[in-house]
Amino acid sequence: MRRRNVLASLGATLVAGCTTTLTGDDPATTTTTAGDPPTDTPAGTGGTTAEFTVSEFDLATTKVGPTKPYYLRITAVYSAEAVEREEGDQTVMDVSEIENPEHRAVVKEILSEGKLWREAVPDGLQALTERVDFFTWEANTDSDDTASHWGVAVYQADPDGDPALQFDAELVDDHLAPGDPGVIAFSLTNTGDQTQSVFSGTVPPFSVLFADGPRDDQRALLWRDYTEEGCVSFAEVDGEATLMTCSIGISTPVEPGETIEKEYELRPAFEHDALRELAFDAPGRYTVAETLSYERDGVGQGPSTEVDWRVEFELESS
């Protein structure tokens, strides 16, 4: 059944998802440089004498989510035995017991799809999901299913509001030379009055960054000391040295008034075999594009705000 497939996948995410939260000190501006790589990570000139200058540096940001004001989703997946082990009295209701037909139809849809975005929800639905700890759906649950109880929540989003986190990118050093890389500083500033939690890959809060280059299928790596900051390593795969990253998520809180800044290097060459093809080694147009995703800290599985950002620049031979 489709419902079972959706819930099995969602249940694995809720129970076994690998997410780490980083805690910070008092609100402040925190800047970290890319750092000099240790001897066993990329460094040096890679044998090149090429020098470049960065020009026409441009940043564009676009808020792309949320697009609707209501976010409905499954927030917990339990077995009957697990519900019994929960502390305190748990309110459990089967879908067939929901009196309001509109409420019943929407809860069925949430249990079938896992998560939904809506322009509007029936009056009283949010109060129902707050009152009921777990819903069951006996008519659509096989006897051998382990998961039989689901927590459901209705969240309100703000699709028209300005982003609480301001993303910025600044060209700090526009000259690339052997042993003297160019530098771009990426930053996040919380302009709101609530702590926001930024979701990223293994190197928070901006992850491992690549630029699409002027040649077909060309990618260039913006360097930080990734092996010290996240689950990043270099390994030999099929006889070739390869950059390896763990598929994990990290949540970084940004408090009101706080700015987090990270500097990334543009290197014209790498000595490490795994990165030789990932240098900024040719003139032309380069593009770095990612999506910033964050949510109000403490909401848990609530709606996230998503902002697409794009940095473009020209690399000219010096």
pLDDT tens string 104-146: 999 999 999 999 999 999 999 999 999 999 999 998 899 889 9
pLDDT at 114: 97
Q: How far apart are CA 213 and CA 207, in angstroms?
A: 19
Angstrom distances, CA of residue 71 to CA of 36, 295, 305: 44, 13, 12
Q: Which domain does 313 fall in, by range?
A: 18-66+160-317
Which of these three, 130, 156, 182, is where a domain ends?
A: 156
Q: Is residue 226 part of a domain?
A: yes
pLDDT at 129: 98
CB 282 within 8 A of CB 268: no
Q: Is residue 11 part of a domain?
A: no
Domain count, the chain: 2
Q: What angle do CA 199, 203, 208 make, to 5 degrees?
A: 100
CB 60 within 8 A of CB 310: yes
Angstrom distances, CA of residue 185 to CA of 140, 170, 294, 315: 53, 5, 20, 17
Q: Is residue 264 part of a domain?
A: yes
* Residues in the chain, pLDDT under 70: 1-29, 35-47
Q: Say if residue 133 is in the same domain as residue 188.
A: no
pLDDT at 28: 66
pLDDT at 27: 54
Which residue type occupies 99? Answer: E
Q: Is residue 288 part of a domain?
A: yes
pLDDT at 234: 82
pLDDT at 73: 98
Q: Say if residue 313 is in the same domain as residue 224.
A: yes
**Mind listing the pLDDT tens digit for each residue in 30-78?**
777 776 543 344 444 555 789 999 999 999 999 999 999 999 999 999 9
Q: Is residue 112 part of a domain?
A: yes
CB 75 within 8 A of CB 300: yes
Which of these three, 96, 121, 156, is where a domain ends?
A: 156
Q: Is residue 266 part of a domain?
A: yes
Q: Say if residue 28 is in the same domain as residue 104.
A: no
Q: Say if residue 118 is in the same domain as residue 239.
A: no
Q: Say if residue 208 is in the same domain as residue 302.
A: yes
Classify 31 as helix, strand or coil: strand
pLDDT at 23: 43
Which of these three, 125, 156, 187, is where a domain ends?
A: 156
Q: How far apart are CA 29 and CA 261, in angstroms?
A: 7
Q: Say if residue 118 is in the same domain as residue 235.
A: no
